[in-house]
């Protein structure tokens, strides 16, 4: 993985021959039409040209000692360092889990109806490639659909992995993850600011949101694999950083999913309560964050009296 990179172009050439040490005058570059000369000992500010402050390695460095919330040295950035650090850690957990699987484990059904472990691992590899394609296109000044062939391409790619052996699955995931992380490493700040991809569920999506969506894909599907007997995670094992990010994202999209006759008060207890909807039927979801997320993500129907929700996105 490439080391963190940060560069600024050298100071522009000022027209003086090499070796000249005593210029006749130096004008202020910020106001070149003024005749105000700079004092001999007054240093010019370095040119603040394009900066590359991107990638997984930079994210991991930013998430190390000294990072934290406002007031503790944290500085906002266009680069989603926290998301990159989270998804990279999830990629490592996925690789560790797949390393211990054999062909028998891949033939097992996973927790998603109609899918085997092999189907889901194939999906995780193809999903990484789809994100790499969007990121690479954005870096080239272009826009790419996540699956240029639409749902048929996505579904066909998954079905093609039904009988994949464990050795092939390991290589496919490792190669796809490496390609995606290299693509993140290559993104400049300007592309992080204004680049985007196009996702079927959301349409135009910022690159930072794409990183979150890939993080979600890995975290949730690690649970969906149903491989606790091989060291795989349960919902209670999800990383705290991911739970925080998922809660914020899912609650933000919840108004469109709550039936119009309901108002839902989410009261997890381990974070502030929030109400969603304007209906006359009030339902208090008095449950901790993770069990509530299991319901919000459609993995379980929820307790008696909790309203049916529209599709999770």
Helix or strand run (H / E) with residue 199: strand 196-199
What one-character DSSP code corresponds to residue 228?
Answer: G
CA distance linking residue 269 with residue 287, whole number of Å? 8
Cβ(57)–Cβ(81) below 8 Å: no
Q: Where are the beta strands (DSSP E) in 219-307?
A: 262-266, 274-277, 281-285
The owner of tokens 């992080």 is 192
Which structure tokens are listed for 217?
């894909």
Spans of the chain below 50 pLDDT: 1-27, 29-30, 32, 34-35, 38-51, 66-67
Could you tell me which of 223, 217, 222 has the C-alpha nearest to residue 249?
217
CA distance linking residue 108 with residue 41, whole number of Å? 73
- Say whether pTM exceeds 0.85: no
Model pLDDT, residue 76? 81
Which structure tokens are listed for 96?
């560790």
- For the beta carbon of residue 185, count every other beta carbon within 10 angstroms: 21
The DSSP bridge partners found for residue 284 are: 265
Model pLDDT, residue 75? 72
Task: Identify the three-state secondary structure at position 113.
Answer: coil
Q: Is the dihedral of CA 46, 48, 54, 58 positive or negative?
A: positive
Domain boundaries, the chain: 81-238, 254-296
Letter string b/e over residues 196-213, b meaning 16 or more CB atoms within 10 A of that residue's CB: bbbbeeeeebbbbbbbbb
Q: Where does residue 4 rank: exposed (0-12), middle (13-18), buried (19+ CB within 10 A)?
A: middle
Task: Give the β-pairing of 274-277 and 262-266.
Answer: antiparallel
Model pLDDT, residue 201? 86
The DSSP bridge partners found for residue 264 are: 276, 283
Model pLDDT, residue 151? 87
CATH class of 81-238: mainly alpha
Which structure tokens are listed for 15?
């027209």
Cβ(90)–Cβ(219) below 8 Å: yes
Q: Is the dihedral of CA 249, 251, 254, 255 positive or negative?
A: negative
Task: Identify the three-state secondary structure at position 203.
Answer: strand
CA distance linking residue 149 with residue 91, whole number of Å? 26
Q: Is the dihedral of CA 135, 138, 142, 145 positive or negative?
A: positive
């Amino acid at each position: 993985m490439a080391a963190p990179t940060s560069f600024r172009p050298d100071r522009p050439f000022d027209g003086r021959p090499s070796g000249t040490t005593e210029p006749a005058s130096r004008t202020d570059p910020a106001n070149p039409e003024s005749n105000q000369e700079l004092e001999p000992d007054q240093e010019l500010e370095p040119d603040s040209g394009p900066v590359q402050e991107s990638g997984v390695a930079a994210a991991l460095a930013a998430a190390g000692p000294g990072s934290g919330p406002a007031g503790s040295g944290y500085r906002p950035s266009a680069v989603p360092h926290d998301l990159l650090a989270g998804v990279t850690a999830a990629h490592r957990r996925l690789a560790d889990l797949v390393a211990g699987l054999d062909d028998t484990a891949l033939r097992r059904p996973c927790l998603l109806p109609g899918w085997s472990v092999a189907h889901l691992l194939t999906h995780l590899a193809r999903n990484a490639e789809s994100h790499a394609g969007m990121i690479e296109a954005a870096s080239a000044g272009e826009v790419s659909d996540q699956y240029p062939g639409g749902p048929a391409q996505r579904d066909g790619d998954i079905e093609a992995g039904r009988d994949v052996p464990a050795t092939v699955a390991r290589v496919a995931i490792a190669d796809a993850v490496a390609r995606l992380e290299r693509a993140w490493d290559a993104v400049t700040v300007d592309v992080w600011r204004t680049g985007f991809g196009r996702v079927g569920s959301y349409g135009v999506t910022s690159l930072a949101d794409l990183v979150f969506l890939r993080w979600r894909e890995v975290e949730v599907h690690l649970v969906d694999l149903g491989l606790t007997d091989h060291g795989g995670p349960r919902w209670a094992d999800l990383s705290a950083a991911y739970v925080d990010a998922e809660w914020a994202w899912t609650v933000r999209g919840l108004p469109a999913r709550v039936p119009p006759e309901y108002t839902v008060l989410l009261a997890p207890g381990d974070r502030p309560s929030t109400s969603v909807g304007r209906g006359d039927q009030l339902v208090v979801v008095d449950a901790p964050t993770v069990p509530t997320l299991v319901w919000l993500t459609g993995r379980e129907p929820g307790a008696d009296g909790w309203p049916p929700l529209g599709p999770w996105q």
